[in-house]
Amino acid sequence: MFRILLLSFVLFMYASASVLQESIDKAPVGATIKLPNGLYQGNIVINKALTLLGKGDAVHIQGKGKGTVITINSDNVILKNLHISGSGERMENLDAAIELHHVKRCTVDKCTISDALYGIDMNMVQECNISNNHIRSKPFDISLRGDALKIWYAKNNLIKNNTIEESRDVTLAFAKHNRIEGNTFKNNRFGLHLSMSPHNVIKNNLFQYNSVGMLLMGVKDTNVTGNRILSSKGAAGIGVVADKVSNFHFSNNVLKYNAKALYIDTKAAEQTRQRFISHNLFLYNGEALHFHAAIKNNVITHNVIKGNMDDVVKDTRDGYTRNNLIAYNYWGRYEGFDRNRDNIGDGPHQNFIYSDQLWQYDHQAKFFYGTPIMSIIDFLFKVAPFIKPVLLLEDSKPLMQEETTPDLPLQQ
């Protein structure tokens, strides 16, 4: 049983750094240091397994405005119920509220991080638990803030039930087998940015008012499920970017009110199906599915796609690439019949470019979307096209109703 070391002082004045640092240095391995309400000076270093536990709701560890507030160099360290603030401002030094460096099984729980350039810097860590925290950066321009979580070469970590707002990004680079669940990402640049990070699970998070909700670059074997990606704003306004991903499973997500809901860029050399997009809601976005360069190697099934300005956009002029499996989606624009009432349209749903060419290749023309003149041009293109329309995507078995239906066998 761990010994419990109770700090028997209550601070009404600013405590010197030596008080908390000396208590940490003198504590036996595995001790719990219980901190009463007060203001403690930071820039402390923890080199042994122990717990720092805030006993009240006003336990504040404040840095000196230089460097990192709490540096952890040992396994099995727990920080709980603390307010941590006042890191330095040097981007090249990764000044942070908390630094975890080459450690295992550490926990940061129920902490508030504010006025910190970087929130938590996690370098080559394993089996750590970052849960129930509120993280906010320094009040700089968004490009000058640090990352709320910077996770490098890390694996088997749990990031759960945190609120991350007004920071730059949460980044994972060369990080694998991590679970990111139940978090809220608001008013950041990239809510979540994964680069070359395989085998991660991103589940049941809320992304709202970010420039980009999720940016996934070169990742493989990744599951993104049950997330709400709403109201991406700014110059990008993209819900999710899937850039050269492999074995990517995207299911049961809600994407609403984004300029672009899902942006897909494929690898030139890829051959087999790489993206599995199913049971999502694409509602009231500027563009639901935006493909860069090619539409290929996708399985797109059982989605609801309605109320968008454009359902499918492709930003090059060549036609539909036919090595996809697209069926059993509900399209708000489908104009067909269901004579046998099996909830599957009698004919395919085809996404063409008609007058849409005017704004898909000249975005300034989008200003006229929904105006009478654009509606007339679009109608004339459909009735008597004098330029051959371009087929972008075809759903072979579109659904007539959007209620949940069981998975049906898919034919090649």
Average pLDDT over residues 121-138: 98
> In this predicted structure, what is the pLDDT of residue 62?
97
Helix (H, G, I), strand (E, B) or coil at 43: coil
Closest CA to 83 of 110, 50, 118: 110
Give the Cα separation of 7 and 278 in Å (integer): 54
> In this predicted structure, what is the pLDDT of residue 391?
82
Give the Cα separation of 273 and 299 in Å (integer): 7
> In this predicted structure, what is the pLDDT of residue 271?
84
Q: Determine contact, residues 213/235, Cβ cutoff 8 Å.
A: no
Span 151-175, pLDDT tens digits: 999 999 999 999 999 999 999 999 9
List 46's β-bridge partners, or say none. 72
pLDDT band at 236 (very low <50, low <70, confident <90, very high): confident
Q: What own/partner pairs with CB < 8 Å and gap ≥ 24 does 204-208 have?
A: 205/180, 205/181, 206/230, 207/232, 207/239, 208/184
More confident residue, 225 or 392: 225
The half-sphere exposure of 340 on its side-chain side, counting CA atoms within 13 A, is 5
Q: Report which listed range, 31-40, 321-330, 376-385, is most confident.
A: 31-40
> In this predicted structure, what is the pLDDT of residue 356?
47
Average pLDDT over residues 298-316: 93
Kindly state the DSSP code that residue 76 receives in the 8-state scheme: S
Span 13-56, pLDDT tens digits: 344 446 899 999 999 999 999 999 999 999 999 999 999 999 99
CA 125, 140, 230: angle at the middle one, nearest 5? 75
How large a percentage of the chain has pLDDT more than 90? 76
> In this predicted structure, what is the pLDDT of residue 3?
43
**Helix/strand/coil (H/E/C) assignment for every residue in 190-208:** EEEEEECCCCCEEECCEEE
Q: Residue 362: is its pLDDT beyond 60?
A: no
> In this predicted structure, what is the pLDDT of residue 320?
55
Mean pLDDT, all residues of the chain = 89
Average pLDDT over residues 289-300: 93
CA 101 to chain centre: 24
Range in 80-84, 243-247, 373-377 the model is least confident about: 373-377
List 114's β-bridge partners, or say none. 85
Q: Residue 409: is its pLDDT beyond 60?
A: no
Give the Cα separation of 211 and 194 in Å (integer): 15
CATH topology of domain 1-187: Pectate Lyase C-like (2.160.20)
pLDDT band at 293 (very low <50, low <70, confident <90, very high): confident
Q: Determine contact, residues 239/209, Cβ cutoff 8 Å.
A: no
Beta strand pairing call for 254-256 and 70-72: unpaired
Average pLDDT over residues 330-335: 94
Closest CA to 172 of 161, 187, 157, 186: 157
pLDDT band at 237 (very low <50, low <70, confident <90, very high): very high
> In this predicted structure, what is the pLDDT of residue 392?
85
Q: Residue 369: is its pLDDT beyond 50?
A: yes
Give the Cα separation of 47 and 24 in Å (integer): 9
Span 312-322, pLDDT tens digits: 998 876 655 66
Average pLDDT over residues 73-83: 98
Phi, psi of 240 (to 5 degrees): -140, 130
The pair of three-digit structure tokens given for residue 43, joined into one six-digit string: 């820039």
Q: Residue 410: is its pLDDT beyond 80?
A: no
Average pLDDT over residues 265-272: 88
Q: Residue 386: is its pLDDT beyond 70?
A: no
How large a percentage of the chain has pLDDT more than 70? 84
Beta strand pairing call for 390-395 and 349-353: antiparallel
pLDDT band at 12 (very low <50, low <70, confident <90, very high): very low
Strand order in the sheet with 260-265: 44-46, 70-72, 96-101, 118-123, 149-152, 169-173, 190-195, 212-217, 238-243, 260-265, 287-292, 310-314
All CATH 2.160.20.10 domain ranges of the chain, comma separated, are: 1-187
> In this predicted structure, what is the pLDDT of residue 10?
37
Span 194-224, pLDDT tens digits: 999 999 999 999 999 999 999 999 999 999 9
